[in-house]
Chains A and B, each alone.
Chain A
Amino acid sequence: MENFPLLTTVLLAPVSAALLLCFVSSKSVQSVRVICAAAMTVALALTVYAFFSYDMSVGGMQFVEDVPWIRDLGVHYALGVDGISLPMLLLTELIGLAAVFSSWGITERPKEFYILLMILIAGVTGTFIARDLFIFLLCYEVVVIPIYIMVIIWGSTKRVSKEYAGMKLTIYLLMGSAFMLVGVVALYLTAFPEGARTFDMQALAAAAAGGCFSEEFQIFAFFLLLLGFGSLLSMFPFHSWSPDGYAGAPTAVSMIHAGVLKKIGGYGLIRLGLLVLPLGAKFWAPLIAALAIINVMYAAYIALAQHDLKYVIGYSSVSHMGYVLLGFAALNVVSVSGAVANMVAHGVMSALFFAMIGYVYERTHMRSVRELRGLAHQMPRVATGFMLAGMASLGLPGLIGFMPEFTIFVGSFGVYPVLAVLAISGIIFTALYTLRVLAKVLFGPRDSRFDYFEDARGVAMMPLIILGIALVGFGIFPQLLMGMVGSGTEQLMPLLERITDAPAFLGGVR
């Protein structure tokens, strides 16, 4: 097992499924689905194995692979996972498998749908396991176009048309990435003299530690990265693609997008922003913290007024990303651990939410809070899913959402006391809109209009089971998640201590 290229296999499982599907007749729908499910099961199983066999006492990058790829650019096909990326990888494979099962009912051009879905999952997987910046960017941008095509073909038109939603999503993300690319190019060129240049992230971080980047440069480059990763993380004011995009997208895309793709933004900020440009991160942290609070409060406030279930969850995800940003901006080990863990937690619960909404919408063609009511009578299992996701979303102890949020508050209170208090009060809003929606949709008198609709069973139960296990499992045993994340964020300790006295935006407003 020593030399087995585990991460390559995880990456190639969906890719090979996509290639295989090209040769399967588009009429044999069942084999198409089964191939995808099998590929994702393999990927998930290997990831789970990696998760439990990762040696936390050693820490650092494990399961590493390294092949020289493009010599004149200094690109290596270098993979590896540490305590920060492994939970994200696990999240990706969990949601990937769940998304395959939630798309079981797709009848329009299923083969093309699954091919695009596999490419999408492969792209997301690649970003989390890449140790090389070039491979990271490659995988990151791969995902954009399949999403566009999936939204315009299999999406749904409600408040905004699916064409509009798809284009908005695509252009926002691509514009963000344009700025990010400039930042990355500048980073690549500044780090080393010609001939010694490399895209290896660890080498870049080492260059930063060696003082290759001046403070002005770090501030400038981090700002560019912030534009890119911030818009991906739906940071205010670049958040408006998120609710529209999720509303237009088909279930699987909403799940993957809200669940993991968005988290690439947070992951990138930590992996690239914090590790390579620590002084830049320190400088912009107060601004990020302020925007984070706007995210939390403003998005939660809007979510209160939404009637479309997908919009509620869309805005709620914007709001939750505010906590992640706050945890990042506090720049200490505890808060950053909280941010990473919260990304995982939010990923699982939003994916579950979207899976349940997708199931209901597929059956009833309704997703407005005004129309749906009393579903717990006809669909008790779906209602369970909704309740699990909802309770996790408002941070009920015993579910996945509690520990990460708590950690963020603990970590950020010392740095931004006022903002942290404001963020905590945001939980009240969260509780308000979540409970309002759940109460209306699930409970109340039985409505005979829904008597003809079946509850989830068989394959349709799979997303609920997969995500539910993660939701409850990590809730009851938070150490599984927090320990792993902690082993990853410990490496930040010397770095964070070094920058405590560095200058910050507006003198570090509190």
Chain B
Amino acid sequence: MNFAAISTEIFILGMGLFAIVMDLVLPEEESRKSIGGVLIFALSGWFLYMFTLYHGAINPLEPASMAALTDRFFYQGLYLVDNYALFFKQLFILATVFTLLFASDYVQSVLRYRGEFYALLLLALLGMCVLASATDFLTVFLGLELMTISFYVLTGARMGSKDSSEAAVKYLIVGSVSTAVLLYGISLVYGAVGRIQFLEVCRSPHLFFPLGIAGITLVLIGFFFKLSVIPFHMWAPDVYQGAPTPITAMLAMGSKAAGIAAMMRVLFVAFPLLGLYWLPMLAVLCALCMIFGNIMAMRQKDVKRMLAYSSIAQAGYMMVGIVAADADGMKAVMFYAMLYVFANVGAFAALAVVEAQKGDTSHRAVSGLARSAPVLAAVMTISLLSMAGIPPTAGFAGKLYLFTAVVDQGFLWLAFVGFVMSMISVYYYLLVAKAMYLGRWDGSKLEISGAVRAAVVLSVLATVVVGVWPEKLAELTNLAANTFLR
């Protein structure tokens, strides 16, 4: 039992329990912002510490290097902390820190059970981290359920709001169905192979029998539900719209990245030999996501709902990297997932402020934002443009990585679809910009707290710096992708 390997998970669990205890200890009428503050401080400290955990390339011929490898496993290889897992865990922690930064005001003014919000968010984070490290199907399932069940509750956290309750129920039902599908798929694979560890599943010849193929298909469909890939996306818009805005942000950037992380490991470690089957399916689905996600987003009048559809399209872009199925593709996915965090924080932080003070997230609510809160309008515009992939924002570099990787593997048509659709997406992103800059201004000024200001400024800075000079992030993702252990 090498508990050092799971120090991150232990730490997060500890912080989650700490949030519960703090909530009980603090008097009823006192603000819960202090909990958020402690969590932000602790998590960002841990985030920085994690940079020291990355390992170099592992050479199987060198005993010292192999010893370092066994340090990375926990519980007989069920759990692996390689660079890939570390990168994604850092991404989840960063996303949580940003969310906590801009959520504290929102939580204070909109939600009734505030302490629970923090505890559940940390549990969801724990689930994501488990997903990133899981190397067998049951651990994947465990992480996925820990994450989604926390999110079911968080989605319904706006007590008294019909939208929020509807979203929670919908999410619960569709989520349970998808869980059932996933579990059924896992049981089929187990039935065919008799193993649940990825590395052992991979070696089994029985996987090529119909039973194994059916199992793989169902496992993938389970993941597609979680990632809201078209045609398994119908829950996403309602859930995104109904959930409290910080939770929507976490769903879009955290939950999605966690699903992608687990799916990549499943595909590349457990099923690499069956690429013949899943590659064409994945290519078609990600083209569908890019096309219809963007087209459906065009008609939306509510910014949150628009972002839900746009997140479907974004999942499509990220899957482009999976279709490339090599180190370049993986690196591109990680790069994109990270910059998507920055873009999402900018957009949702601005929306959270608008929603908390105007009670609405429609185009009408954001109209005139350029005058009532110029900083938020600028941040929102830049973040949306990053999602669209317009330089000098990070989205451009990210898309270039994704599409060079996939064209290199011979999928030129995907690059066509991707570039054309991302240019089309500029249309609906600019509609928001138009509402903000040109819409009628009711003369009010929005209040922006220091924490929100810090969140938006940091995220925009990251978006622009990564866009103009992606070197550092590219190095990190290169390291993570090239030392990915199969």
Residues of A within 8 A of B (CB): 69-73, 134, 137-139, 141-142, 144-145, 148-149, 152-153, 163, 167, 170-171, 174-175, 177-179, 181-182, 185-186, 188-189, 194
- A70, A170, A181: the one contacting B426 at CB < 8 Å is A170
* Whole-angstrom distance between the Cβ of B409 and the nearest chain A Cβ: 10
Is B422's beta carbon under 8 Å from chain A? Answer: yes
**Cβ-neighbour of B437 out of A71, A144, A149, A177 (below 8 A):** A149
From A140, which residue of chain B is reached at the shortest CB distance? B391
CB distance A170 to B430 under 8 Å?
yes
Given A69-B471, A178-B423, 12 additional A-B pairs, CB 8 A:
A70-B469, A70-B470, A138-B468, A141-B391, A175-B420, A178-B420, A179-B416, A181-B419, A182-B415, A186-B407, A188-B404, A189-B407
Q: Which of A69, A170, A174 contacts B469 (CB 8 A)?
A: A69
Chain A residues with Cβ below 8 Å from B400 are 73, 134, 181, 185
A179 to B416, CA, bound (A): 7
Given contacts A70-B470, A138-B392, A185-B415, contact A194 B408 (CB under 8 A): yes
Instruction: Give min CB distance, B377 to chain A, whole Å.
Output: 10
> Within the assembled complex, what's the spacing in Å between the Cα atoms of A73 and B424?
26
B421 to chain A, nearest CB (A): 8
Q: By the criterion CB–CB under 8 Å, are B420 and A148 in contact?
A: no
- Which A residues lie within 8 Å of B422 (CB)? 178
**In the assembly, what is the distance between CA of A186 and CA of B430, in Å?**
29
A110 to chain B, nearest CB (A): 14
A185/B403 in contact, CB under 8 A? yes
B261 CB to nearest A CB, Å: 21
Complex CA gap A91/B330 in Å reads 44
- Smallest Cβ distance from B369 to chain A, in angstroms? 13
Q: Are A167 and B437 in contact (CB under 8 A)?
A: no
A-B residue pairs in contact (CB < 8 Å), sample of 21:
A69-B469, A70-B469, A71-B474, A73-B400, A73-B404, A137-B396, A138-B391, A142-B390, A144-B390, A145-B385, A145-B430, A148-B433, A152-B434, A152-B437, A167-B430, A170-B426, A179-B419, A182-B416, A185-B400, A189-B407, A189-B408
**Interface residues in B198-249 (C-beta closer than 8 Å to A):** none
A152's partner among B415, B423, B438, B470 (CB-CB below 8 A) is B438
Q: Does B412 make an interface contact (CB < 8 A)?
A: yes
Tell me which residues across on chain A come within 8 A of B427, comparing CB atoms: 167, 171
A170 and B434 CA atoms in complex are apart in Å by 13
Bound: A89/B131 CA distance, A: 52
Complex: A189 Cα to B427 Cα, angstroms: 29
Q: Which residues of B contact A (CB under 8 A)?
A: 381, 385, 390-392, 396-397, 400-401, 403-404, 407-408, 412, 415-416, 419-420, 422-424, 426-427, 430, 433-434, 437-438, 468-471, 474-475, 478
Task: Name the one of B396, B403, B424, B430 contacting A138, with C-beta atoms under 8 angstroms.
Answer: B396
Do A142 and B408 touch (CB < 8 A)?
no
Question: Is B390 within 8 A of A163, CB to CB?
Answer: no
Q: SS class of chain B's interface: helix, strand, loop or mixed?
A: helix
- A249 CB to nearest chain B CB (Å): 15
Closest to A22 in B: B378
- The smallest C-beta distance from B317 to any residue of chain A, in angstroms, reads 14
Give chain A nearest CB distance to B282 CB in angstroms.
20
Contacts of B412 in A (CB 8 A): 182, 186
CB of B466 to closest CB in A, whole Å: 11
Instruction: Enumerate chain A residues within 8 angstroms of B468, measured Cβ to Cβ.
Output: 138
Question: Contacts of A142 on B, CB cut-off 8 Å?
Answer: 390-392
- Chain B: which residue is nearest A26 at the CB level? B374
**Distance in angstroms between the alpha carbons of A148 and B434 in the assembled complex:** 9
Q: Tell me the nearest residue of chain B to A141, going by C-beta.
A: B391
Which A residues lie within 8 Å of B471 (CB)?
A: 69-71
The verdict on A177 contacting B385 (CB below 8 Å), with A72-B478, A138-B391, A153-B438 known, is no
Specify which chain B residues have a CB less than 8 angstroms from the CB of A181 in the assembled complex: 400, 403, 419
Contact yes or no, A153 B390, CB < 8 A: no
CA distance A152 to B397 in the complex (A): 27
Whether B426 contacts A174 by the Cβ 8 Å rule is yes
Q: Of all chain B residues, which has the CB nearest A163?
A: B434
A185, B438: Cβ atoms closer than 8 Å? no
Closest CB-CB distance, B296 to chain A, in whole Å? 18
* Residue in A closest to B478 when the chains form the complex, CB atoms: A72
Specify which chain B residues have a CB less than 8 angstroms from the CB of A69 in the assembled complex.
469, 471
Nearest 6 CB-CB pairings of A with B: A174-B423, A178-B419, A178-B423, A138-B391, A178-B420, A141-B391
Partner of A185, one of B385, B391, B404, B478: B404
**Do A141 and B430 form a contact, CB below 8 Å, given A72-B478, A185-B404, A189-B404?**
no
* Contact of A148 with B430 in the complex, beta carbons under 8 Å: yes
Cβ contacts under 8 Å, A72 to chain B: 474-475, 478
Give B415 Cβ to nearest chain A Cβ, in Å. 5
A175's nearest neighbour on chain B, judged by CB, is B423
- Taken together as a complex, chains A and B put the C-alpha atoms of A145 and B385 apart, in Å, by 9
Q: Enumerate chain A residues within 8 angstroms of B381, measured Cβ to Cβ.
A: 145, 149
Question: A141 and B415 in contact (CB under 8 A), knowing A70-B471, A163-B434?
Answer: no
A139 vs B391: C-alpha distance in the bound complex, in angstroms? 8
- Whole-angstrom CA separation of A418 from B419 in the bound complex: 39
Task: State how many angstroms separate the Cβ of B343 from the closest Cβ of chain A.
Answer: 15
Task: Report the bound CA distance from A70 to B419 in whole Å.
Answer: 22
Q: Give Cα A186 to B400, complex, Å.
A: 11
The smallest beta-carbon distance between A236 and chain B, in angstroms, is 21
Contact A177 B423 (CB under 8 A): yes
Smallest Cβ-Cβ distance to B370: which chain A residue: A112
**From residue A21, how far is it (CB to closest CB) to chain B in Å?**
13
- Asked if A70 meets B404 with Cβ closer than 8 Å, knowing A152-B434, A170-B426, the reply is no
Nearest CB of chain A from residue B484's CB, rounded to whole Å: 16
Could you tell me the distance between the alpha carbons of A139 and B474 in the complex, rounded to whole angstroms?
20
